[in-house]
Chains A and B, each alone.
Chain A
C-alpha cells in the first residue's frame, strides 16, 4: 500500500462552542472522497484545518506522509481549492486573474489553463464579477488543475448549480482524474450529488466523522 495522500490522526479542535472530535482517516490517491453532513456539522472547519496557515487543531494532519504544519507554501502548491469563499480579482478576467495569481505557484501552466477554459466553454476575457456561480466554480477548477494540484478540495462547489453545470463540472473532474493521480475531497450537504459522483463517502455529524465507506 502506498503513502496516503491525506491523513488525519486524532485531529480535534474547538471554535467557539463548536468542537471537532477526534477525527482520523486516510485518503488514497486517485479517488473522489466525499464528506456529507448538514450545515454546521463541521465539514468546512475540517477543510480549514488543512488550508489554514496557522494550525488551530490538536493532532496531526499529514499530506503525502509529512505533517502539514509549517509547510503552507508547499501545501498550497499541491492543493487546489474550489469554493465560493475563495477570492479572486472581481474586475479582472479569468486570464488576468491567472496571470496575477499564477505567478505564486511553482508550476503554473498557463497553456493548460487556457485549454481547460476552452474545454469548459468559458471565455478567458470574461471578468470574474460577470461570471455566474457555475462559471466561477469552473474557472477555479481550471485554475487548480493548471497549478498541477495533487489534492483537490471542493467546498460545496456545486451547491446551487443547475444540473447541466453540475454534470459538466463532474465530467471535467472525472476526465482529469483519469489522466492524473489527483485525489478529490469534496464536502457537500447534497447526498444526491455525493451518491452520483463520489467513490467513498463519510458522514459528519455534530463534529464527529464516521469512516469512509465505498459508495456503491
Chain B
C-alpha cells in the first residue's frame, strides 16, 4: 500500500514555485473570485440548521455543492494553468513531469491548500448550526453535526482524488497499490 509523506524540502520548493509563478494570473483572479463568491453563497445556505429549511432541504444540499465547487475553483491554480496568449490549459503535473518533484508532493501541497479553508469554515458552520438549533428549536439534529464535516472536509478530499478539477491521482494510486 502506498503511503503519503510530506517531504518538507519539496514542499518548500513547490511553495516558492507557486509564489513566483504568475503566468496564469488572469485565470487565477477569475477562479479566486468564483471561489469567494461560491463559498460565501454556500455559507449563507449552510449556517442555518436543517430544521430551518423544513420542506426545502435541497437548499442545504446546494449549499454543500456550492461549497465544494468554490473550493475546487480555489484549488485550480495549484492544478493547472493557461497562459494569456496561447490559452491552452496545461496541468502542473505535465509541466513538472520531467523535473525533480514527485506527483505525491504536488498533490499533498494542493491538498493542504484546499483543506485550509475547509478546516477553518467547518467549525464555523457547526458552531452556528448548534447555536441556532439550541437557541431556536431547543435541540440539535444529528445531521447538523455529521453532515458539515462529511461534506466540507471528507468529500472535498475524496473529490480531489477523483475529480477532473483535481489532479486526478485516483488512477495513479490504483496502479501502484
Contact = CB atoms under 8 A, between A and B. Distances in A.
Interface string A72-90: 1111110101000011111
Interface stretch (B28-36, B66-74, B98-106): B98-106
B168 interface: no
Interface in B7-61: 10, 13, 16-17, 20-21, 23
A75 B99 CA distance: 9
A34 to B, nearest CB: 20
A180 to B, nearest CB: 19
Given A76-B98, A103-B17, A53 B103 contact: yes
Contact of A91 (B13, B16, B84, B176): B84
Given A54-B176, A103-B13, A73 B83 contact: no
Contact of A73 (B20, B84, B90, B101): B101
B83 A87 contact: no
Interface residues of B, number: 25
B17 A104 contact: yes
Interface string B85-116: 11000100011111111110000000000000
Given A92-B23, A129-B85, A73 B100 contact: yes
A86 B98 CA distance: 8
A104 B99 contact: yes
A90 B99 contact: no
A189 to B, nearest CB: 22
A202 interface: no
Contacts of A88: 95
B100 A129 contact: no
Given A54-B175, A87-B90, A91-B85, A105 B100 contact: yes
A62 B13 CA distance: 27
Contacts of A56: 175
